[in-house]
Amino acid sequence: MASIGHVAVGMALGRFEAGAAPWRRRLAMMAFLSLLALLPDADVVAFALRIPYAAPWGHRGASHSFVFAGMVALAVAGLARWKGESGTRWGLLALIAVGSHGILDALTDGGLGAALYWPFSNARVFAPVRPLPVSPIGAGMLSARGLYVSLVELLVFLPAWAYALWPARKTRSP
């Protein structure tokens, strides 16, 4: 999956968290949660390290699992508490942002699937229905296929983008 859908999830979560806060806070929350939603794809470094795609630490491996999402959520919750914010709220937002990544990748029509259940199983899984086209990796995104995938994701995630980017209501003071 191209990053468009993952960023849309993070942006929508950031907007939900920030609500009608000043635009800088909304922007910061959308950026932070989008980065968390993209975090599992940091595993592309495995290609440079010559780790096989199908290996537990390969692309769409351990970093796409629910356990990984839970570990990141615990770290974010701890950081939030340290900063005086709600650890539960931030932990849940992080869990949704990171956990959604593997689920969305399991909805694609290519690749090897996602190791959602790692470390209990190294099996890569797909969802029963796979409506999203898999994106090419690297420079392949600049091809006709990459453009097609990007357009499909823009359409599928349009509601999330609209919610995230819709102007905040100004509250009236009495």
Asked if residues 116 and 61 have their Cβ atoms less than 8 Å apart, the reply is no
Q: What is the pLDDT of residue 126?
A: 97
C-beta atoms surrounding 171 within 10 Å: 6
User: Which bin fits 60, alpha (ψ -120 to 50), beta or left (φ > 0)?
Assistant: left
Residue 44 lies in a domain: yes
Q: Is residue 109 domain-resident?
A: yes
If one counts the domains in the chain, the total is 1
CA–CA gap between residue 30 and residue 24 (Å, rounded): 10
Q: Per the domain annotation, does 87 fall within a domain? A: yes
- The pLDDT assigned to 142 comes to 85
Quick one: tokens of 2?
A: 């191209």
In contact, 95 and 9? CB cutoff 8 Å: no
34: part of which helix (H) or strand (E)? helix 23-38
154 occurs within a structural domain: yes
Q: Is residue 97 part of a domain?
A: yes
Q: Is residue 171 part of a domain?
A: no
127: domain range?
A: 3-165
Give pLDDT, residue 51: 93
118 belongs to a structural domain: yes
Per run of 10 residues, the mean pLDDT along the chain (length 174 residues) is: 92 95 94 98 92 93 98 99 97 99 96 96 96 86 90 96 88 62
Q: Is 37 inside any structural domain?
A: yes
pLDDT attached to residue 174? 63
**pLDDT score recorded for residue 57:** 95
